Structure 1
Amino acid sequence: MSRLLARRQAWQAVLVALAVTVALQWIPQLALLGWPLLLGSTLAHELGHGLSALLLGGRFESLDLYADGSGVAAYRAAFGRSEIALVAAAGLLGPPLASFFLFLSGRNSRSSHIGLGVLGVLLALVAVLWAGNLLTVVFCAVLAALLLLAAFFSNARLCQVITVFMAVQLGLASFSRADYLFVESARTGQGVMLSDVGQIAAAWWLPYWVWGGLLVVLSAVLLLGGIWSFVRVLR
């Protein structure tokens, strides 16, 4: 594929992704579609917790999504204060990290197919290995099937549009729910519990709002890095 054609397709992917995003925000009849997008951002958040616990030597036991858009990742490990804080931070960085990698994947059609395929396989594993309730099983299985279908059977342009759209949505989710970064406790489908920044503060002493501010900055750096890598293709 020529550089000019790759640039043109990347621009088209951005414009379509932004148009759909605006439509979801401003057309009331499409409001229902916002619910799976909300669950998707929660899924990225909870996967950040679970996978980081796994990487640090713990056991990722289950991931539960709830109809109100909240979620909980359960893990078992003999972690110290620092490991607990790192797992808490990883959840908050889940959506911006996912957005970063999707922007990287969306730079051309080939990498878009690969990115959606990898994401589809990961979600299939979540549905089989870690889903803790029926909603999580169904949501992850359906999303995995759709992503794998797109990765293997959709044309290059559609695949790139889907990748960029997901990157945009996860990027927006990183900040549209930023108020969670500045609360000490949070209500989920399992009740009220210490928030992620509350857990970090308990481990590393500084007030929770300080950690919330630092994570906002880190999230912004990740998003800007992903956007910059994608914009380079458009030049």
Structure 2
Amino acid sequence: CLTRGSLHHQRRPPVSPAPVFAALSAPSADVDMDQFTSGVEDTPIDPPIQAKGRLCSSSCCSFSYRVPTLRELYDRDRRLLRAIIVIVIFLNVPVLGYTLYPFMLFSTWIHESFHGLAALSIGGTVSWLNIYPDGSGLANTLIPIGTFQRAWVACAGYMGTAVVGGIMLMFRRTNLGARVGTCGMGLAMLLTCIFFAGNAFGLVALLLMGLLLSAAGWRLPTFWIGELYALLAATTCLNAITSIRVLFFITEANIGGVVRSSDAAVMQDATKIHAWIWASAWMVLGLWMTAMGVFITFETREKDSREAPEQYRGEDHVDLLLTTELA
């Protein structure tokens, strides 16, 4: 027996994540800003790490662990720091703030896509997926009757956004990962347009963004695709955290001209656990995945990159290093 239900993601009133980065807007005095745009991008820690191991029996993957200094973290994560600085500046300059609008739509698309994927994973179907100009979205699904099924689909949006943001951050130091990730997201958007887009704005927005991301991942130089990917990852993690705060104040919202319950309210109705508890759990997950993305990273071995053929230098045609950092 099947029942039709609509799951949605509400992003109004607009969430301003500026306080999250307020402390970052003024660099400390001991930071050499000349290094911000010079030198090798995201270079591995030197001196060598203190502990090593292998992820598999072959030599293709290995992991390493050490406690880095703040200076080392700065030297390695210039790409992420630049993305954060761009977000801070753009959020505090009204005219520039509009340039982050596509990134908000990107996060909404991830949220609604995970509602759809959750429905498909339990034998349901996705009728349509809408993205609206105010940044909200709606996924209409057909799922089997049951408390678990309803709760599983309802919680997938916020959880999926947090997980995707964290995983994207983990690959921010790999040029090949940034290129493949950007192309993959673009192609996934185009597939959404073909099979699930249900309104004109969503169709046009996803089509344009899908084409641009696919083209950027395919043609942009290594430096610029890394910058774009880091910005996508940072804004996705930011939205996974800041968009949840509205769930503490509203249980219903007007989405697409119809008043609908929030995801937290749906979870409360399905599980009898208060909506604030679910909202808090999703926020903790968002913070946790962001921390994991910052401190657990994949990167290219610098010595192997120097030994790579000239035509592949700067790309990741070498072994990957999984680094765990605890500051």
Taking structure 1 as the reference length, what is the TM-score of the superposition? 0.90
Partner Cα separation in structure 1 for residue 83 and residue 218 of structure 2: 20
Shift in Å at residue 233 of structure 1? 8.2
Aligned residue among 6, 10, 13 for 2:79:
13
Q: Which has the higher helix share?
A: 1
Aligned residue among 223, 233, 256 for 1:167:
233
Stretch of structure 1 that moved more, 132-141 or 218-227? 218-227
In the other structure, the counterpart of 1:47 is: 113
Matched, 1:187 2:254: yes
In the other structure, the counterpart of 2:267 is: 200
CA contact 2:123–2:144 (8 Å) conserved in 1: no
Aligned residue among 123, 136, 140 for 2:206:
140
Number of residues of Structure 1 aligned to a counterpart in Structure 2: 232
Partner Cα separation in structure 2 for residue 188 and residue 10 of structure 1: 42
Unmatched runs of 5 consecutive residues or more in structure 2: 1-38, 44-74, 299-322
Aligned residue among 105, 109, 121 for 2:175:
109
Partner Cα separation in structure 1 for residue 209 and residue 159 of structure 2: 21
Aligned Cα root-mean-square deviation (Å): 2.2
In the other structure, the counterpart of 1:220 is: 287
Runs of 4+ in 1 over 6 A off after TM superposition: none
Relative to structure 1, is the Cα distance of residues 116 and 233 closer, same or farther in structure 2, using a 3 angstrom cutoff? farther
- 1:98-146 CA distance string (max 9 Å, x none): 2112112322101111111211111110111111011111111111111
- 1:30-75 CA distance string (max 9 Å, x none): 1222332222222121112111111221101211111122110011
Aligned residue among 76, 91, 101 for 1:35:
101
Percent same amino acid among aligned pairs? 25
**The structure with more radius of gyration:** 2
CA contact 1:6–1:108 (8 Å) conserved in 2: no
In the other structure, the counterpart of 2:137 is: 71
Shift in Å at residue 169 of structure 1? 0.6
In the other structure, the counterpart of 2:27 is: none
Unmatched runs of 5 consecutive residues or more in structure 1: none
Partner Cα separation in structure 1 for residue 76 and residue 112 of structure 2: 30
Structure 2 letter corresponding to 1:186? A
Show the 5 A alignment for 1:70-89. Answer: 70-89=136-155
Relative to structure 1, is the Cα distance of residues 217 and 12 closer, same or farther in structure 2, using a 3 angstrom cutoff? closer
Partner Cα separation in structure 1 for residue 104 and residue 266 of structure 2: 23
Stretch of structure 1 that moved more, 29-38 or 89-98? 29-38
Q: Which has the higher strand share?
A: 2
Relative to structure 1, is the Cα distance of residues 18 and 218 closer, same or farther in structure 2, using a 3 angstrom cutoff? closer
Shift in Å at residue 90 of structure 1? 0.6
Shift in Å at residue 6 of structure 1? 5.3
Aligned residue among 152, 160, 169 for 2:218:
152
CA contact 2:41–2:78 (8 Å) conserved in 1: no
Partner Cα separation in structure 2 for residue 28 and residue 195 of structure 1: 29
